[in-house]
Amino acid sequence: MCGIIGISHHKEAGKMAFLGLYGLQHRGEEAAGIVTYDGKDTHVLKRTGLAVDNFDEESIAKLKGHAAIAHTRYSTTGGSNIKNIQPIFVTHRKKPIAVAHNGNLTNTEELYARLEAAGSIFQTSMDSEIMVHLLARTTNGELKEWFSRMLAQLKGAYSVVFLYEDYVIGARDPQGFRPLCLGKLDEGYILASESCAFDLMKAKFVREVEPGEIVIIKGNHIESTFLPKIQEEGRAFCVFENVYFARPDSHIFDDNVYQVRKRLGAQLAKEHPMQADFVMGIPDSGNYAALGYAQELNLPFEIGMIRNHYIGRTFIQPTQFLRDFRVRVKLNPIREVLEGKKVVVVEDSIVRGTTSRNRIQEIRAAGAKEIHMRISCPPIVSPCFYGIDFPSTKELIAHNKTVKEIADYIKVDSLGYLSREGMLEVMKNKNGFCTACFTGKYPTPIPVNTDKLQLEKGHTVTP
């Protein structure tokens, strides 16, 4: 999961791209980058860490140009190192091309081996770089045909933006795994992973880019085309975007994320009701489902833990050490609220179980008498190959333990998960979601090599 931005026809495209990254910072905290084009020269800024911490006014001022793309990274392919910071920038036939990608390709090894055998020299260990090599080897022609031929060779999940001279090009895979939105800013257009990025720029949300659509923007002119045979592909929107990843003030998959999460909580209350002194969420992502749960059962809703907002999102940290550290300092229970109380604690998901175990221990230590945990999605039992960093069943507690065993491990008095049927029931596109992480049934063929660092360790597929 990453955040991507495209800005067209704006005299301060670099600054607007920075604001967009700020709005999408929740989608990746490892690194960020911006590439701009001023009609003659290309300007690049890439740094590790948060954009707000590492992009100062002086560096942003150097990003001259009226067109820009940007990326904030959460690594799902390739290691957390400087060479893998996006956007990827190359020069092809004396013209600049940059790409920023959200998602994971599932035919990475096949394409990598074929390209390498044909003479391509890779500079990163990301599947995203494959796109620029394919562009270089695809016969140039009319722009939309050139990019269509390249994208047609990709399989898996991609929402992507390209900067080709002063063209800004956005595309979404035929099944629409990851979101991509189109906005209007003054006379130009904006592309962003989520609509919340538009708000800081005071831009207008226009619509979502359709699955299989390629949007080509130059100046204030926009046109779109579609990849062939997209009707043959079923929709596979990532339901975990609505459960956890996306910001609640975003509009994705034809719905408002905040309203979806409240409906998930209400459905959870119907399936696993519990009378208690109050309902609380695990901040911040659990709060919205907790509110829906409390309203459905007419129970009080309380804030039982306070979040330190200087600490980023725990799940998307690249190592277990960082996740454990941030769990300890991120949330602090309020003893005066919890002491002696029977509490329903609502969380969006349980992935590895270590975070939930630590949080429950803290709530128990603050004096809670009973703790009943409710989860606003089904148990996560299978890896994701489309852009979420839980690729191994060894990491997934629900793959290896029953619900009762998980409850014993995290030390709660009871544990209830939302059913898959109940989760989909509250969605507007009930049959349009990928739920492979809950079922093990994948909408596309999955790769043979599932290692996140596969391109750093070598590959085994022959061309």
Tell me the mean pLDDT in the region 156-182: 97
Domain count, the chain: 2
Lowest mean pLDDT among 16-20, 70-74, 77-81, 119-123: 77-81
Asked which of 188, 204, 236 is the last residue of a domain, the reply is 236
What whole-number percentage of the chain has pLDDT above 70?
Answer: 90
- Please indicate, yes or no, whether residues 171 and 42 belong to a single structural domain of this protein: yes
- Please indicate, yes or no, whether residues 360 and 307 belong to a single structural domain of this protein: yes
- Please indicate, yes or no, whether residues 82 and 139 belong to a single structural domain of this protein: yes
CA nearest to 434, candidates 396, 377, 395: 377
- Please indicate, yes or no, whether residues 296 and 382 belong to a single structural domain of this protein: yes
pLDDT of residue 183: 98
Q: Which residue among 2, 196, 377, 437 is the active-site one? A: 2
Query: Does residue 379 lie within any of the structural domains?
Result: yes
pLDDT of residue 312: 55
Which domain, by its residues, includes 64?
3-236
| In the predicted structure, residue 461 carries a pLDDT above the cut 50 | no
Q: Which residue has the higher pLDDT, 153 or 392?
A: 153
- Taking only the tens place, the pLDDT of each residue in 258-291 is 999 999 999 999 999 999 999 999 998 899 999 9
Distance CA 39, CA 304 (A): 54
Lowest mean pLDDT among 46-50, 207-211, 254-258: 46-50
Tell me the mean pLDDT in the region 8-14: 96
DSSP label at 301? B
Lowest mean pLDDT among 74-78, 206-210, 453-457: 453-457
Query: Does residue 459 lie within any of the structural domains?
Result: no
- Please indicate, yes or no, whether residues 181 and 285 belong to a single structural domain of this protein: no
Tell me the mean pLDDT in the region 332-337: 96
| In the predicted structure, residue 228 carries a pLDDT above the cut 60 | yes
- Please indicate, yes or no, whether residues 194 and 259 belong to a single structural domain of this protein: no
3-state secondary structure 60-81: HHCCCCCEEEEEEECCCCCCCC
CA nearest to 24, candidates 46, 42, 2: 2
CA distances from 236 to 179, 252, 376, 462 (A): 11, 13, 20, 29
- Please indicate, yes or no, whether residues 292 and 432 belong to a single structural domain of this protein: yes
Is the Cβ–Cβ distance between 154 and 107 less than 8 Å?
yes
- Please indicate, yes or no, whether residues 267 and 200 belong to a single structural domain of this protein: no
- Please indicate, yes or no, whether residues 229 and 269 belong to a single structural domain of this protein: no
Distance CA 243, CA 193 (A): 16
Reply yes or no on whether 181 is catalytic: no
Task: Quote the tokens at residue 218.
Answer: 């130059």
Q: Which residue has the higher pLDDT, 293 or 429?
A: 293
pLDDT of residue 459: 43
Residue with tokens 């906005």: 183
- Taking only the tens place, the pLDDT of each residue in 56-90 is 999 999 999 999 999 999 876 655 668 889 999 99
Q: Are strands 278-281 and 255-256 parallel, antiparallel or unpaired?
A: unpaired
Query: Does residue 450 lie within any of the structural domains?
Result: no
| In the predicted structure, residue 401 carries a pLDDT above the cut 50 | yes
Q: If pLDDT is split at 50, 70 and 90, which confidence band does 113 have? A: very high
- Please indicate, yes or no, whether residues 341 and 416 belong to a single structural domain of this protein: yes
The CATH number covering residue 169 comes to: 3.60.20.10
Tell me the mean pLDDT in the region 392-401: 92
- Please indicate, yes or no, whether residues 228 and 307 belong to a single structural domain of this protein: no
Is residue 294 classed as helix, strand or coil in its secondary structure?
A: helix
